[in-house]
Structure 1
Amino acid sequence: MKLSPSVTIEQSETGLEFIKVASEFCDATIFLQGAQITEFTPTGKKPLLWVSQQEDYQEGKGVRGGIPICWPWFGVSQHEGWPAHGVARTGLWRAEQVKEEENSIYISLSLPMNQIDEKYWPHKTKLLVEFILSTSLEVRLTTTNLDSETLNFTQALHTYFPTPAIEETKVDGLQGSKYIEFGEGPFEQHDLVSFARETDMVYTQAQDTQRIITPDGIIEVSRENSRSCVLWNPWIDKSKRLSNFADDEYHVMLCLEAANVLEDSVELAPGDKHTLATSLRWV
Structure 2
Amino acid sequence: MACITQKVHQNGLTYLDIDTEFCQARIFMQGAQIDSFIPKGKAPLLWVSGADEYQPGSGIRGGIPICWPWFGMHENSNWPQHGFARTRIWQLDKIDTQNEVVELTLSLPLSAEDKAYWPHNTRVEAVFRLSHELKVSLINHNLSDDYVSLTQALHTYFPIQDIHRLRATGFSGSHYIEFGEGPYTQETDEVIFDKETDRVYNQLGDEQQLHTPEGIIKVRRENSQSAVLWNPWIEKSQRLSRFNDEDYLTMVCHEAANVLEDKVILAPGSSHSLSTIISWVV
> TM tier, shorter chain?
over 0.9
1:175–1:189 contact (8 Å) kept in structure 2: yes
Distance 1:104 1:115 in 2: 36
Distance 1:22 1:257 in 2: 25
1:87–1:116 contact (8 Å) kept in structure 2: no
2:2–2:100 contact (8 Å) kept in structure 1: no
Aligned to 1:226: 224
Distance 1:241 1:77 in 2: 21
The correspondence of residues 165-180 of structure 1 with structure 2, limited to 5 A, is 165-180=162-177
Identity fraction in percent: 51
Aligned to 2:92: 95
Aligned to 1:243: 241
Gaps of 5+ in 2: none
Task: Describe the superposition over 1:30-75 as per-residue Cα deviations: whole angstroms up to 9, x where unpaired.
Answer: 0000000000000000000000001101111110000000010001
Q: Calculate the TM-score normalised by the size of structure 1.
A: 0.97
Distance 1:24 1:68 in 2: 26
2:115 pairs, out of 115, 118, 124, with: 118
2:20–2:100 contact (8 Å) kept in structure 1: no
Aligned to 2:41: 44
Task: Describe the superposition over 1:184-221 as per-residue Cα deviations: whole angstroms up to 9, x where unpaired.
Answer: 11111122000000000011111100000111100000
Aligned to 1:15: 12
Distance 1:225 1:39 in 2: 24
Task: Describe the superposition over 1:11-39 as per-residue Cα deviations: whole angstroms up to 9, x where unpaired.
Answer: 00011000000122100000000000000
2:30–2:90 contact (8 Å) kept in structure 1: yes
Letter in 1 for 2:173: G
Distance 1:18 1:76 in 2: 28
1:184 aligns with 2:181: yes
Distance 1:197 1:5 in 2: 43
Aligned to 1:253: 251
How far apart are 1:115 and its partner, in Å?
Answer: 5.4
Distance 2:276 2:122 in 1: 22
1:211 pairs, out of 209, 214, 220, with: 209
- 1:208 to 1:116, Cα distance in 2 relative to 1, 3 A: farther
Distance 1:168 1:39 in 2: 23
1:25 aligns with 2:22: yes
1:81 pairs, out of 78, 86, 105, with: 78
The correspondence of residues 106-145 of structure 1 with structure 2, limited to 5 A, is 106-114=103-111, 116-145=113-142
2:134–2:278 contact (8 Å) kept in structure 1: yes
Runs of 4+ residues over 6 Å off in structure 1: none
Distance 2:225 2:110 in 1: 26
How far apart are 1:177 and its partner, in Å?
Answer: 0.4
Count the aligned residue pairs: 280
- 1:5 to 1:194, Cα distance in 2 relative to 1, 3 A: closer
How far apart are 1:116 and its partner, in Å?
Answer: 4.7
How far apart are 1:117 and its partner, in Å?
Answer: 2.3
SS of 1:119's equivalent? helix
2:269 pairs, out of 263, 271, 282, with: 271
SS of 1:126's equivalent? strand
2:161 pairs, out of 155, 160, 164, with: 164
1:29–1:40 contact (8 Å) kept in structure 2: yes
SS of 1:83's equivalent? coil
Letter in 1 for 2:241: S
Distance 1:13 1:51 in 2: 17
Aligned to 1:195: 193
Distance 1:170 1:236 in 2: 19
SS of 2:248's equivalent? helix
2:2–2:18 contact (8 Å) kept in structure 1: no
Distance 2:114 2:247 in 1: 34
2:175–2:204 contact (8 Å) kept in structure 1: yes
Letter in 2 for 1:113: L
Distance 1:270 1:86 in 2: 22
